[in-house]
Amino acid sequence: MIERETHGDVVVLRMAHGKVNALDLELLTALTTVLDELAVDGPPLVLTGRGTAFSAGVDLRRIVTEPVAYVEEYLRALSAAFVALFRYPGPAVAAVNGHAIAGGYVLVAACDHRVAAGGAGRLGLSELQVGVPFPTSAIEIVRHATGASAATRLALSAELVDVPTALATRLVDEVVPPDALLNTAIAHAQVRAARGLDSYRMTKRQLRRPALETIERVAPGEDAQVRAAWTQQASLDRIRGFLANLG
């Protein structure tokens, strides 16, 4: 589910879960567990996916087939995974091997540097396509990574963009050929670690403090509203309609 390997001092985590690494409770729990374990020492980290997708986002089929209790637990786990990556103390680089959609793109945004493979990947935030709101952590992480204007466009348009557009609009920092993706991401992680991990960690903490403080202050109340919105019958019906249109 989470494949782990080391390249020198860099830890590579690869999401390997189904065809498109859809985010379900099990994958999110596994990701948070390994991130919390690694955060004790904070080695340089690369996060990527297996196959043609980094992650296609929320496993919507589970949302409409599982009981409400699953959906509520799922949304808590989703936010926990976002925050665990965002507050990871060491260098964290996303190696975006394909589609990074909705929650998949939030994981990309939670990293310090984002390298995408050239190709047919699509990136963006699509929750409003199915009529459900974002957890507080997702909005704050994307706002931190892309700026308020880009975050607004991404979230409210719910449109996905191709890789060249993602580079032009700074959703990713660079694009490389697919066969160079992992080595490029590893090299970025190594360079950042070589500059001095203690100073890197302090600077990263300073930069992310406003977003993390907002998440800690706002999320307890706001995310209760998010959970209510996701579990109401009208939302579940819209998700079923969206899935039916996908075929």
User: N- to C-terminal Cα distance for the chain?
Assistant: 26
> Token pair for residue 156?
């409210």
Q: Which CATH architecture has domain 2-179?
A: Alpha-Beta Complex (3.90)
The band of 176, judged by pLDDT with boundaries at 50, 70 and 90, is: very high
Q: In the annotation, is 66 catalytic?
A: no
Q: How confident is the model at residue 146 (pLDDT cuts 50, 70, 90)?
A: very high
Domain ranges (residues) in the chain: 2-179
Question: Which one from 127, 140, 174, 216 is the annotated catalytic residue?
Answer: 127
pLDDT at 86 over 80: yes
Q: Is the confidence at residue 219, as pLDDT, over 90? A: yes
User: For residue 245, what pLDDT is reported?
Assistant: 86
For residue 111, how many other CB atoms are within 10 A of its CB? 26
Phi, psi (5° rounding) for residue 217? -80, -40
Does residue 247 register a pLDDT over 80?
A: no
Asked whether 166 and 172 are in contact (CB, 8 A), the reply is yes
pLDDT score at 246? 79
Q: How high is the pLDDT of residue 166? A: 97
Kind of pairing between the strands at 99-101 and 92-96: unpaired
Is the pTM value of this prediction over 0.95?
Answer: yes
Tokens 């800690």 label which residue?
216
In DSSP terms, which residues pair with 13 in a beta bridge?
4, 47
pLDDT at position 25? 97
Mean pLDDT across 126-148: 95
Q: How far is CA 53 from CA 163, 182, 239, in A?
A: 13, 14, 21
Q: What is the mean pLDDT of residues 32-59?
A: 97
Report the mean per-residue pLDDT for the chain.
Answer: 96
